[in-house]
Amino acid sequence: MRHVMVLFVLLVSLAGCHRQANAPGEAPTGLAAAPGEGQVIVTWDQVPGLTYWIFFQAGSTVTARDPGVPLLFDVQSPRVVGGLTNDVQYAFVMNATDKDSPGGPSTPVVTAVPRFAGKDWTSGAPLGSPPQNLNGVVYGAALNTLVAVGNSGTLLAGTVNYTSSNPPGVTAWTPATSVPTGFVSDLSAVTTSGSSYFALGTDGSIVTSTDGNTWTSTASIPSGGVRMNSLAFGLVSSAARYVAVGNGGTIFMSTDLTTWTLQASNTTNDLYNVAFPKDVFVATGANGTLLTSPDAITWTVQSSNTLAALRGTTYGTGPAAAASAHYVVVGDSGTIVTSTDGTSWSVTPPPLSQDLRAIRLGTRFVAVGRGGAVVYSDDAINWSVGGFPPGAPAPDLASIVFTPAMYLAVGPLGANAVSRN
C-alpha cells in the first residue's frame, strides 16, 4: 500500500508540473490570398512547431474566434480554401498556437474575390529535353492525370496540382516510363475514354495507356501516307466509336481500335480536328469545312458561313443568366461560329484577329491560339479577350483542357500555361 501511495503522490506531482504553453508572441507573417475559381489559395510564412488557424467569411473584414466564423485548423501553407462563391469578396485572418497554448496575435486581414478561370494566364518553362512541339493534351479525371503528346513520340504525364507554380498546375511532367520499342512518330492528338488514353500519330499509328505512363501499340490506321490530324472517342447507343481525321477529307472509324474503316466524308478539304462534344461527332478543317455525324459513319456537310480554317469544337451552356446551350467552333483569324442544334451555324464577330487553335467549355467557354491568344465567353455570344501579363511570355497554344477550377493548355516548343482565374 505504501508503494501505491508513493506512486500516486509522484503522479500528482508530475501533473502539477505541467503548464499550458505560452501563446506565440507574434502574428504569422506574409499572409496572402490569391483568388481562384470558387476558391482562394492562402499562403503565409510557416514556422515549424506552430499550429495555424485560418478564419474567413464573406465581406471585407473578419476577426479570429468570432462566433459563427468558419475556421480551418492545423493548416499548412499553401492552403486552398474552397466552396466559395465567385464574384463575392472574402476576408481572411490567421493566428497560431504553440502546442496547446491559447491563440497568439492575429494577422492583418487580407481579402480576395474568387472568379471564373479562363481570363488570366501564367506560362511555364518549356517542357521536354529538348522541348518538342506539343500538339494535344487531355485530362483523365479518374487518375487526376494530364497527358500531353507531341512530336518525335513525346508522351508526358503529370498529376494535377492546383497550387503548383513550377510547373504551373502540375506536380511534375514526366516522360512515359514505357513505350513501344523504336516508337518516335509525331503525335498529333490524344483523347480518353475515361479509363484509357489514346494517342494518334500523324502516320496513323495508335498507342494506348491506362495510366499515362505505360504505352502499348495497337493496330495502325491504314492511312496510305495521308497525314492524320485528330482523334476522338464517343459513345453511340452506348457502343464505343473511335474517329480519326486527316488531310484530304480523310475520316476513319473503329469500334475496337483494331479494325479501321474509311468513311465517306463528302469533302476533299484537309480536316484538322474531330470531337464528340454532345451526341454527334463534329469534324472541322480547311476553307470553313464543318461536318457532323451522329454515328461516325454518315457524315453531313454543314454550312459554316466562313472560309476560315476551323480548328476546334466544344459544346455546353455558359454560366451567364439565361444562357442557352451552344456548339462553338473556333479557327483562324479569330473566327468563332456557333450553333444551337449542330445544323444552323452563324459567325460571331471575333474579339481579336489571331488564329484560335482550340476551345474548351469548363465552367465558361475558353479558346486559345497563336501568340498567346485567349478569348472567353459566359454565353457563347459575347466574347472578351484574356491573356498573359504585360511583358510575360505569350506562347503559341494548340490544345486546351479543363481540370477542376483550372484550364491548362500546351503548344509548340514545349509551351504550357494555366489559368486559375
**Residue 19 pLDDT:** 63
pLDDT band at residue 9 under the 50/70/90 scheme: very low
Mean pLDDT score of the chain: 94
Exposed (0-12), middle (13-18) or buried (19+): which is 218, by Cβ within 10 Å?
A: middle
The mean per-residue pLDDT over the stretch 38-56 comes to: 97
Tell whether the model's pLDDT for residue 377 goes beyond 90: yes
CA–CA distance, 57 with 68 (Å, rounded to integer) = 9
Tell me yes or no: is domain 29-112 CATH 3.40.50.620: no
Q: Are 365 and 380 in contact (CB under 8 A)?
A: yes
The mean per-residue pLDDT over the stretch 322-333 comes to: 97
The mean per-residue pLDDT over the stretch 124-134 comes to: 94
The mean per-residue pLDDT over the stretch 20-31 comes to: 93
**Residue 21 pLDDT:** 85
Tell whether the model's pLDDT for residue 2 goes beyond 80: no
CA 249 from centre of chain: 30
Q: What is the largest CA-CA distance in the chain?
A: 103
- Tell which residue, 158, 180, 177, 179, has the closest CA to residue 169: 158
* pLDDT 10s digits, 151-207: 999 999 999 999 999 999 999 999 999 999 999 999 999 999 999 999 999 999 999
The residue written with cell numbers 505505360 in the block is 214
The mean per-residue pLDDT over the stretch 361-386 comes to: 98
CA 183 from centre of chain: 27
Tell whether the model's pLDDT for residue 4 goes beyond 80: no
Peptide bond into 130 cis (omega under 30): yes
**High-pLDDT (> 90) share of the chain, %:** 93
* pLDDT 10s digits, 223-274: 999 999 999 999 999 999 999 999 999 999 999 999 999 999 999 999 999 9
**Residue 12 pLDDT:** 38
The mean per-residue pLDDT over the stretch 211-224 comes to: 97
Cα angle 149, 125, 331 (rounded to 5 degrees) comes to 55
**High-pLDDT (> 70) share of the chain, %:** 95
**Residue 65 pLDDT:** 82
CB atoms within 10 A of CB 99: 10
CB neighbours of 4 closer than 8 A, spacing ≥ 6?
none
Tell whether the model's pLDDT for residue 8 goes beyond 90: no
Tell whether the model's pLDDT for residue 336 goes beyond 60: yes
The CATH number of 122-419 is which of 3.30.300.130, 1.10.3720.10, 2.130.10.10, 3.30.930.10?
A: 2.130.10.10
The residue written with cell numbers 500528482 in the block is 12
Exposed (0-12), middle (13-18) or buried (19+): which is 367, by Cβ within 10 Å?
A: buried
**Residue 7 pLDDT:** 37
- Tell which residue, 367, 366, 382, has the closest CA to residue 321: 382
The mean per-residue pLDDT over the stretch 65-88 comes to: 95
Domain ranges of the chain: 29-112, 122-419
